[in-house]
A = this chain, B = another copy of it.
Amino acid sequence: MDTKELVSAIEAELQKQVSRLDAPRTKPFHEMLTYHMGWTGEGAGPEATGKRIRPLLVLLCASACGASWQLALPAAAAIELVHNFSLVHDDIQDNSSKRRGRDTVWTKWGAPMAINVGDALFVMSSQAIIDLKESYSSDVVMKAAEILHNTCLDLTRGQFLDMSYEERNDLGVEDYWHMISGKTSALIAACCQIGALLGGADEDQQEVYRSYGHYLGLAFQVQDDILGIWGDENVTGKSVASDLVEGKNSLPVLAGLEKKGKFAERWSQGPIQPEEVGEVSRLLASEGGLLAAQEAAKQMTDLALMNLREADPQGEAGEALFELTNRLLGRKQ
């Protein structure tokens, strides 16, 4: 299955949703949204839009359950709008000045405007999900909306945990799973569950798709954590130093801290300096932080694939789901 056609259709649907603000008086407001979405302004283009993995999952799951993917487009857009709302607000919260190599919305227009841009993207996600009514019964639309909203509350829970963890030094691996279940995994789980719902799957099968997405999200995040410390800067496009220097409570770090060895001792003494990164990352690896994360990534990947096999996705979309999963989790076919 050529996913390029799907990605083009997703982009067109997103532009349609965001065009709700394309009116004379709100033109500059509309431009803030199209800039963030990667369509306009400096650096606009495919590199700025991101890969649209989440909406793609919605369409593939719907198609793999037997529906035409076109019908699920409003839901795909809704999920991507939620993702982008959270990015805009995250960037303010984290004081991040760059995203995908471009200035963030708050850097360009200030935090007050950026809060409002995030709010508008958030509203549009709710409007997009209701657009499903053109092809689905009100009961199905409401179920999809319910899943979407519950997921958004999970996102705010994950965001709360993430922010409150910054000030704590007593965290363990268990806290990590709670945080990323909300922050990363909930939205990917929702993609797959909503896709299955719109594909006509029954409730049990929807749950299997949801589990697939849940573990896919966890595996992806753990992998990202590993790359954030030991990754190749040329591949990931961000400084490998950043996660240690930023003091991020990633899985390798929390696993390392639980060992209460030399890494934990150094971590407790204050921020890691850029020039120490090589030494501290080697220390963390030697005390088992890397291995623990690799094992967790493998477990989550296995669970994702197990659930995907159980879901038994059909046709070309089913094949594309396996391909995408393997690609995201860095596995050979």
**Once the chains bind, are A145 and B126 in contact (CB under 8 Å)?**
yes
Q: Does A173 contact B (CB under 8 A)?
A: no
Q: Does A1 contact B (CB under 8 A)?
A: no
Could you tell me the distance between the alpha carbons of A139 and B26 in the complex, rounded to whole angstroms?
Answer: 31
In-complex Cβ contact of A157 among B26, B92, B112, B155 (8 A): B26
Q: Does A234 contact B (CB under 8 A)?
A: no
Copies in the complex: 2
Determine how close the nearest CB of chain B comes to the CB of A190; give it in whole angstroms: 13
| Binary per-residue interface labels of chain A (109-133) against chain B in the complex, 1 for a CB within 8 Å, 0 otherwise | 0011101101110111011001001
**Once the chains bind, are A153 and B138 in contact (CB under 8 Å)?**
no
Q: State which of A159-167, A242-250, A281-289 sits at the interface with chain B.
A: A159-167
Could you tell me the distance between the alpha carbons of A116 and B88 in the complex, rounded to whole angstroms?
Answer: 12
In-complex Cβ contact of A178 among B25, B139, B156 (8 A): B25
- Count of A residues near B, CB < 8 Å? 45
Q: Does A28 contact B (CB under 8 A)?
A: yes
Residues of B within 8 A of A25 (CB): 157, 161, 178
Residues of B within 8 A of A20 (CB): 153
Could you tell me the distance between the alpha carbons of A161 and B153 in the complex, rounded to whole angstroms?
Answer: 28
Could you tell me the distance between the alpha carbons of A138 and B20 in the complex, rounded to whole angstroms?
Answer: 25
Could you tell me the distance between the alpha carbons of A12 and B180 in the complex, rounded to whole angstroms?
Answer: 32
**Once the chains bind, are A116 and B153 in contact (CB under 8 Å)?**
no
- A–B Cβ pairs within 8 angstroms, 21 of them: A20-B153, A25-B157, A26-B160, A28-B160, A29-B157, A29-B160, A29-B164, A89-B116, A111-B111, A113-B160, A116-B156, A118-B119, A119-B122, A119-B152, A126-B149, A127-B149, A127-B150, A130-B146, A137-B138, A138-B141, A141-B142
Closest 5 CB pairs of A and B: A138-B138, A93-B112, A29-B160, A120-B156, A123-B152
Chain A residues within 8 Å of B, Cβ to Cβ: 20-21, 25-26, 28-29, 89, 92-94, 111-113, 115-116, 118-120, 122-124, 126-127, 130, 133, 137-139, 141-142, 145-146, 149-150, 152-153, 155-157, 159-161, 163-164, 178
